[in-house]
Chains A and B, each alone.
Chain A
Amino acid sequence: MKLIFEKSVPGREGYSLPADQFEEIPLESCIPKEFQGKKRELVEVSEVEVVRHFTRLSKLNYGIEDGLYPLGSCTMKYNPKVSEHLAVLDRFVLAHPFAPADLVQGSLKLIHDLGVMLGRITGMDAYTLAPAAGAHGELTGVLIIRKYFEDQGERRIKMLVPDSAHGTNPASSAMAGYRVVELKSNQEGTVDLEELEKAMDSQAAGLMLTNPNTVGKFDPRIDRIAAIVHERGGLLYYDGANLNATLGLLRPGDTGFDVVHLNLHKTFGTPHGGGGPGAGPVGVKEFLRPYLPSPVVVFDGEKYRLRDPGEKSIGMMRAFVANFSVLLKAYAWILSLGPEGLREASEAAVVNANYLLVKLRDHFRPAYGGYCAHECVLTGRDYKQHGIKTLDIAKRLMDYGYYPPTIYFPHFKPYAEETLMVEAPESEGKEVIDDFIAAMIQIAGEAESEPGLLLEAPRSTPIRRTDDVLAARRPVLHYDDELKLKAGE
């Protein structure tokens, strides 16, 4: 398939602009020389060519609307179309971010009420809905912790992060100025209490925990973990990446967490992927409320207002209030399910993952024993003897029409094991999961009898196996690079 650049024909136009009513001024006369840069060649194509090009590309795409998206750790669930419908209503879409509060009472009420609902769901006292993504929420949460300790006059320079944590936790801690200390997990894949006891000293600000963690294991000793962190004066941070396992079943606030962040684009029925938009609300216990970022929505008994939380606030984390359309979809999703429905969603997600685990464990030996939460970690270890890597298994799944699961993650043990992390959220029915299981078992058979099928996979996609190593070592990031590569430069 040709790139749009290769379809360019000099002089071809896609659109005729009306005659210019203003006098023409040379560009050089209004932009200082040092900012002028080099003239770029723009693509010259007709409208129909543009439409066909991008329609063709869109047909090559694979999304949740094509089929199962078993990407473990990402919670790729189907999101109801009714929420999308609500999010494009004029009354929301046309609300200007600078509109006076009196004119957008409905929008402000929605932000306020969603914060209250998330508080009830997670057992936290106050929420900010400002963070624009999960990692942004993490940074917000860790900055709140940092400001709190500064206020207490305590110097704590480390943040503890288990190796089973969500991958962005170390980066967020480092961004907030902490030295990251990694805690190694025990054989069961959960927090090693002895390691925690050793690391949680007066220099540690706290522990960032994902529970259930990235191997899909719920840490049953969360009460002991919270006690150790709190006894030493630290705070406990909850990464909401895996909240989809415990909605309505267990509230992080009740298990000792002081700060939580959620991913509305994972757990709460708003689209995930494609670079956003997302939303990563942060909830805190009462004593941390003054540190929330600005602005917060308050209700004075009569009207909803945007307020600065005061001098202890960590300040603004983004321009304007929030990714509003994401909040709107999450709000609609929560209301449409209700408390019972939320619990049933998590129960179904956990049942789905365990069904997969039990049906596939004889073919893809699980990384850890026992049952799992909302995702399971299988391995392709047994096929190494046939010269098959887990990567080959994942690529072969594409030939069966599936998006491959997460592979080689988490890498707990040094040098990633042959892991396959599978998640089938509650929006997937038994028939869909059975089909996926059948494909996986078929591939397991091929690995033994006809490994070539896996080594050559994918065979059915427009582009076959890519050279990942070359792409990483010599990335082609724009068309000029492509031209240079072709010219052999």
Chain B
Amino acid sequence: MTPQELLYTEEHEWIEPGKSPARFGISDYAQGELTDVVFVELPEEGAEFAKGEVIATLESVKATSDVYAPADGKIAAVNSDLEDNPQKINEDPYGDGWLVEIEISDPAPLEELMDYEAYRKYLDNRDE
């Protein structure tokens, strides 16, 4: 899907709408702020998460950032290619840089996420 079709969290993650399993990753803004990712810690396939729990950890030379589950669900697939090629998160955050696919068990929290336009406004209004 294109960035315009995705939903966004306030923590700068994106998820595919209306699908389960849905692909999930971090936004272009997030990868830029994080700078070059050098290490990725991803969950196991089949692991279950509640909304807000740490689903993955991304490490750059600048910082280590947690990535949070956008809704309750189970990990259906993991982009294990990132373990050897973490730079794909920087190069293609909406494509090859996806993190996991989540089988959503309760889609209700996804309704509160921002669409592309709303996320762009959210970024513009940030105190930078």
Q: Which residue of B lies closest to A418 (CB)?
A: B128
Are B128 and A414 in contact, with the CB atoms below 8 A?
A: no
**Residue in B12, B33, B38, B86 whose beta carbon sits within 8 Å of that of A416 in the complex:** B33
CB proximity of A62 to chain B, nearest CB, Å:
20
Which A residues are CB-close (under 8 A) to B64? 411
The contact string, 1 if C-beta is below 8 Å from chain A, for chain B 109-128, is 00000000000000000001
Which B residues between 51 and 86 are near A, CB-CB below 8 angstroms?
54, 59, 61-66, 86
Q: Which residue of B lies closest to A409 (CB)?
A: B63
A415 CB–B CB distance under 8 Å: yes
Are A408 and B30 in contact, with the CB atoms below 8 A?
A: no
Are A414 and B65 in contact, with the CB atoms below 8 A?
A: yes
Q: With A and B bound together, what is the CA distance between A182 and B11 in angstroms?
A: 14
Which A residues are CB-close (under 8 A) to B30? 414-415
- A381-B128, A415-B30, A473-B38 are known contacts. Are A408 and B62 too (CB-CB below 8 A)? yes
Q: With A and B bound together, what is the CA distance between A416 and B35 in angstroms?
A: 10
Which A residues are CB-close (under 8 A) to B29? 415
Are A414 and B12 in contact, with the CB atoms below 8 A?
A: yes
Q: Which residue of B lies closest to A365 (CB)?
A: B127
Are A415 and B61 in contact, with the CB atoms below 8 A?
A: no
B48 CB–A CB distance under 8 Å: no
Are B12 and A468 in contact, with the CB atoms below 8 A?
A: no
- A414-B11, A414-B30 are known contacts. Are A391 and B128 too (CB-CB below 8 A)? no
Q: What is the number of residues of chain B that contact chain A, defined by CB distance less than 8 Å?
A: 20
A359 CB–B CB distance under 8 Å: no
CB proximity of B85 to chain A, nearest CB, Å:
10
**Residue in A384, A391, A415, A469 whose beta carbon sits within 8 Å of that of B65 in the complex:** A415
Looking at chain B's contact residues, is the secondary structure mostly helix, strand, loop, or mixed? Answer: mixed
Are A415 and B34 in contact, with the CB atoms below 8 A?
A: yes
CB proximity of B82 to chain A, nearest CB, Å:
13
- A414-B30, A414-B65, A416-B65 are known contacts. Are A469 and B38 too (CB-CB below 8 A)? yes
Count of A-B contacts judged by CB separation below 8 Å: 40
CB proximity of A368 to chain B, nearest CB, Å:
11
Q: With A and B bound together, what is the CA distance between A473 and B33 in angstroms?
A: 19
Q: With A and B bound together, what is the CA distance between A473 and B39 in angstroms?
A: 8
CB proximity of B11 to chain A, nearest CB, Å:
4
Which B residues are CB-close (under 8 A) to A468? 61
Q: Which residue of A lies closest to B32 (CB)?
A: A415
Are A416 and B62 in contact, with the CB atoms below 8 A?
A: yes
Q: Which residue of B lies closest to A391 (CB)?
A: B62
B36 CB–A CB distance under 8 Å: yes
Q: With A and B bound together, what is the CA distance between A414 and B9 in angstroms?
A: 11
Q: With A and B bound together, what is the CA distance between A391 and B128 in angstroms?
A: 16
Which B residues are CB-close (under 8 A) to A471? 61
A463 CB–B CB distance under 8 Å: no
Q: Which residue of A lies closest to B13 (CB)?
A: A414
The contact string, 1 if C-beta is below 8 Å from chain A, for chain B 1-42, is 000000000011000000000000000011001111011000
CB proximity of A386 to chain B, nearest CB, Å:
13
Which B residues are CB-close (under 8 A) to A391? 62
Q: Which residue of A lies closest to B12 (CB)?
A: A414
A472 CB–B CB distance under 8 Å: yes
**Residue in A384, A414, A472 whose beta carbon sits within 8 Å of that of B61 in the complex:** A472
Are A411 and B61 in contact, with the CB atoms below 8 A?
A: no
Which A residues between 460 and 489 are near B, CB-CB below 8 angstroms?
468-469, 471-473
Which A residues are CB-close (under 8 A) to B12? 414-415
9 further interface pairs, Cβ-Cβ under 8 Å (given A408-B63, A414-B65, A415-B63): A182-B66, A381-B128, A414-B30, A415-B30, A415-B34, A416-B34, A469-B36, A469-B61, A473-B86
A-B contact pairs, 9 of them (CB 8 A): A384-B128, A391-B62, A411-B65, A414-B65, A414-B66, A415-B33, A415-B34, A468-B61, A472-B59
